[in-house]
Amino acid sequence: MYEEHFGLSGRPFQLTPDPHFWYETATHRKAMAYLGYGLAQGEGFIVITGDIGAGKTTLVGHLLDEIDRTALNPITVMSSAIEADDLLRIVATGLNVDPAGLAKAQLLLAIERGLHAVARSGRRTLLIVDEAQALPVSALEELRMLSNFGAGGHALLQIVLLGQPEFRDRLQGEERLEQLRQRVIAIHHLDPMNEDEVADYIAHRLSLVGWNGRPDFADDAFQALYEGSAGVPRRLNQLAGRVMLHAAMQELELIDAGAVAAVLADMRADMRVVESVAAEPAGAVPLRPDVERKIAALEKRIEVQEAALKRVLALLVEWIEGDLEPPASAEPFRGRAA
């Protein structure tokens, strides 16, 4: 909506990670430096961590855009609590190996052959695993075993692990991951961007969709955007997108701290509504009055039928025990049709 109003060719603040919008903050520059160093070593594990929305997936996308595909064969895995065997099958598929019907020993052999085939083409395989905090220890151990594959004194596989901060804590504290920990050659944590980076970040993303200075931004708007997002890229994108929509709806040509504050107030109000709805217990759906009447009538009819059945059963018992003539009222009871 606001794109058309301001003459933009696309959405500058979409939440879906897109390496086209890559902006190198200080922490992302450092991450790329660590990745470059690690890839130059040609072995082991590189670990990148960051909070939700810090830009890990965008970093991976940018890395894939930058690497030399004639030297590296990348395989990407989006982890979702993948078990060890499933992870091996994903790696095999990335090496153009069909894992169907293969036992584990056969699968490992097929993966090793696939890695050798890539190496013979003059490339090294790079496995990138996102959301690594969701991997069980068994899967991480399997990755460590895969990193042992080599030829001629060179590793056939290098692995990049990206995860949330708890993965870093787990990696440092989990005793069973000691051998993997010893193979980590570079590690970096993505911090939020600095306040003085926000203005350039906003201008960069807007410029990629044809921004010509409309709407304009007051200096205090960038401080408000930083404070409202804590410098986390995804949260900043969400807030900036809402601010642009607010400016379009209010026909603002200048976005200032007041506009950002108004949007933040709306977003907090929206969140309170969501939280209150989520906190309400799920009650029974009220019935229409006519449905309630029909149910009451059916319940009454069932009570009458149950009483009649009890009377018939009592008479039958008396007849059997007293060797009496069967009473006329002992005829099987039939309920009336509803």
10-residue mean pLDDT profile of the chain (338 residues): values are: 92 93 95 94 94 94 92 88 89 93 93 96 94 92 94 92 94 91 95 97 97 96 97 97 95 96 91 60 60 70 74 71 54 45
Q: How many whole angstroms from its chain centre is CA 255?
A: 32
Rg over alpha carbons for the chain, rounded to the nearest Å, is 33
Q: Which CATH number is correct for 197-279, 3.30.70.1380, 1.10.1040.10, 1.10.8.60, 1.25.40.10?
A: 1.10.8.60
Give the 3-state secondary structure percentages of the chain, helix then strand then coil, rounded to 5. Answer: 55, 10, 30
Angle at 9 between CA 7 and CA 15, to 5 degrees: 115
Three-state secondary-structure class, residue 186:
strand
Give the residues across from 155 on adjacent strands: 150
Cβ pair 319, 327 in contact under 8 A: yes
Give the residues across from 9 on adjacent strands: none
pTM of the predicted protein model: 0.76
Cβ pair 189, 165 in contact under 8 A: yes
Measured torsion, CA atoms of residues 301, 306, 307, 312, in degrees rounded to the nearest 10: 130
Name the fold adopted by 26-190. Answer: Rossmann fold (3.40.50)
Tell me the C-alpha to C-alpha distance, in Å, between residue 259 and each of 170, 215, 235, 255, 307: 42, 12, 17, 6, 72
Question: How far is Cα 48 from Cα 164, in angstroms, rounded to an integer?
Answer: 9
pLDDT of residue 197: 98
Q: Which two tokens stand for residue 310?
A: 């009890």
Measured torsion, CA atoms of residues 117, 118, 120, 124, in degrees rounded to the nearest 10: -140
Q: Which two tokens stand for residue 121?
A: 């083409």
Q: Which two tokens stand for residue 232?
A: 């986390």
User: Shortest CA distance to 55 belongs to which of 97, 93, 26?
Assistant: 26
Question: How far is Cα 59 from Cα 65, in angstroms, rounded to an integer?
Answer: 10
Sheet with 72-78, side-by-side order of all strands: 72-78, 124-130, 157-163, 45-50, 184-190
Cβ pair 25, 197 in contact under 8 A: yes
Angle at 81 between CA 79 and CA 82, to 5 degrees: 70
Question: How far is Cα 263 from Cα 228, in angstroms, rounded to an integer?
Answer: 10
Give the residues across from 157 on adjacent strands: 125
pLDDT of residue 322: 65
Three-state secondary-structure class, residue 154:
strand
pLDDT of residue 47: 96
Cβ pair 158, 42 in contact under 8 A: yes
Measured torsion, CA atoms of residues 212, 216, 222, 223, in degrees rounded to the nearest 10: 170
- Rounded to the nearest 5°, which phi and psi values hold at 337? -65, 140
Residue 54 burial by CB count (10 A; 0-12/13-18/19+): exposed, middle or buried? Answer: buried
Tell me the C-alpha to C-alpha distance, in Å, between residue 233 and each of 14, 22, 27, 148, 246: 11, 11, 12, 36, 20
User: Shortest CA distance to 237 belongs to which of 278, 285, 204, 189?
Assistant: 204
Parse the chain into domains and list their residue ranges: 26-190, 197-279, 289-330
